[in-house]
Chain A
Amino acid sequence: MSTRVADGLGLLARLVLGGVFLVAGALKVTTPEAMAKATQAYQLLPHDVAAWVGYALPMVEIILGLLLVLGLFTRVAAVLTSLLVVAFIVGIAQAWARGLTIDCGCFGGGGTVSAAETNYLQRIIEDLGLLACGVWLSWRPDAHLSLDRAMFRPATT
């Protein structure tokens, strides 16, 4: 694969993964208490810990999304984002396996829904797509139009 193609793929991966995180965080950041409930509905973390995670998660998503879109500290952001996506997949899979019927609360909402309204498989597939972007960027963070390049590269190259 030529460098140009790889750099283009990197940019695409950054915009997809960063864009999704940015939007997901922005949609939820105004309703942190609802996010606490959504996180608690997974019945995975201790109740109080889940509330704190719910409060913090939207802001963390916005920050990681911004870093990825801007291409600043791409590798660090991509590694952290990938770990979060893995955590989301684990959360959804365990809810599915235990027979909980919850909305993932990925873009707001969350909590218990009727069994017909769950869409675990679709969410996991989406997350796997995001994970692919994250893994690519962790391995090869260099891409077009990044602050990493603009700020940290010597002018001679």
Chain B
Amino acid sequence: MSALVVDTVSLSFGGLKAVDGLSFSVEKGEIFTIIGPNGAGKSTVFNLICRIYTPSHGDIRLDGRSLLDAKPHQVVQRGIARTFQNIELFEHASLLDNLLIGRFRHGRFAPLSELLFLPSQRRQELAHRRRAEEVVEFLDLEAHRHARVADLPYGVRKKVELARALVSEPKVLLLDEPSSGLTAEETDDTAFAIQDIRDNLGITVVMIEHDMKLVGKVSDRVLAINEGRFLATGTVGEVQADPSVQAAYLGAAA
């Protein structure tokens, strides 16, 4: 059964068609990668799914239910978590606080009980902390638990962002270039982490990625897009062999 369906979605900025009648569907428990040259509209697709942009045409469905009636802050409640291409962490808070903010959707606004720190709050805090700690262990972040995020090296911050998305316990995880700016070893770690996320946690992963080695290692299916339009879908080999994909990356043969 399809977890996430993008159904003939279009979006224009003025005269520019950023996404043009794009359709694809991601199966439950799949690792699905979107590739395409610069400016192909990959991040725009993520921003559409996260409701930062509203499509001018088409529908986006999660588990059969349209996402278009959700406000941007309600998307995570439906079970979609994401990371950003340029790390968007809470720089002046500790790693743990970042993860605890990731638990936001698993709480309720209870002003009095929060201001007075009633025993129920203490219990909730402990529970959130325990969940956060599981993710810390899952991604080997123990050493940095109490460090301020602004002080951490780039590779670790990238991991923290992944961790923050994971603690919200999503059904679908959107990763925007998880390996950009990472060293070769860190990229390998990321590949293992992505596989573990799917195999052990059962989360469907949709990612945008340029590193074809990483794409080949982890993805079940790949979607290639260019100028907001569908090019090809299939396994890595199939997509790479597709003449329209080669034309998009290298230019058409004369």
Partners in one complex: no
User: Which A residues are within 8 Å of any B CB, using their own CB?
Assistant: none
User: Which B residues are within 8 Å of any A CB, using their own CB?
Assistant: none
